[in-house]
Amino acid sequence: MLRNKKTGEVGHLLTSKDIGEYIIINNEYRTLAKYDSLAGLNDEWEDCKDPKEFWYIVQDGDIFSDNDTVTEDYAKRLQAIGNYFESIEEAKKALEKLKAWKRLKDKGFRFEGWNWKAQSIDCSLDYTAITEEQSEEADKDIDLLFGGEE
């Protein structure tokens, strides 16, 4: 794997008997014809380690791990907002928490904060306005979100 010293793009160096040597970047093939020698290639590109595999949630709720096409800058932005997971299980758990939060909001749940004196969560949900089944679902969602497991 190679990284462009100027742009940070990551590419894979490949050789084909028909084309010769080329680099694949974001599924785009770039020939190495512009480089006079290996030294010319090394002026612009350097060896790099394979990026660590990670997962992230996209806008429709799917979980992706297309690390070959994600730039380093994009991966850092995903990390900055908490949408970068080191395992698919971790990503699935985060997605379930997002869904739980949405279900609770739709039922009128209000989170008001942590009550330090009572060591409990201050929140409100009008249980009289929902069915018993919805009440049980709400309790499960609250436990998923605030049950103490990170």
Number of domains in the chain: 3
- Domain check: are 22 and 46 in the same one? yes
Enter the tokens of residue 103.
Answer: 């279900």
Residue 35 structural domain: 1-50
Angle (CA) 108 112 116, round 5°: 145
Domain end among 86, 110, 134? 86
- Domain check: are 94 and 142 in the same one? yes
Domain end among 37, 60, 86? 86
- Domain check: are 80 and 109 in the same one? no
- Domain check: are 35 and 68 in the same one? no
- Domain check: are 58 and 69 in the same one? yes
pTM above 0.85, yes or no: no
- Domain check: are 93 and 130 in the same one? yes
For residue 65, which amino acid is it?
A: S
Residue 48 in 3-state DSSP?
Answer: coil
Strand duo 63-64 + 110-115: pairing: unpaired
Cβ atoms of 21 and 14 closer than 8 Å: yes
Q: How far apart, in whole angstroms, are the C-alpha atoms of residue 142 and residue 114? A: 13
Q: What is the pLDDT of residues 74-87, one digit of tens each?
A: 888 899 999 999 89
Q: What is the pLDDT of residues 86-140, one digit of tens each?
A: 899 999 999 999 998 888 888 877 766 665 555 566 666 666 666 777 778 877 8
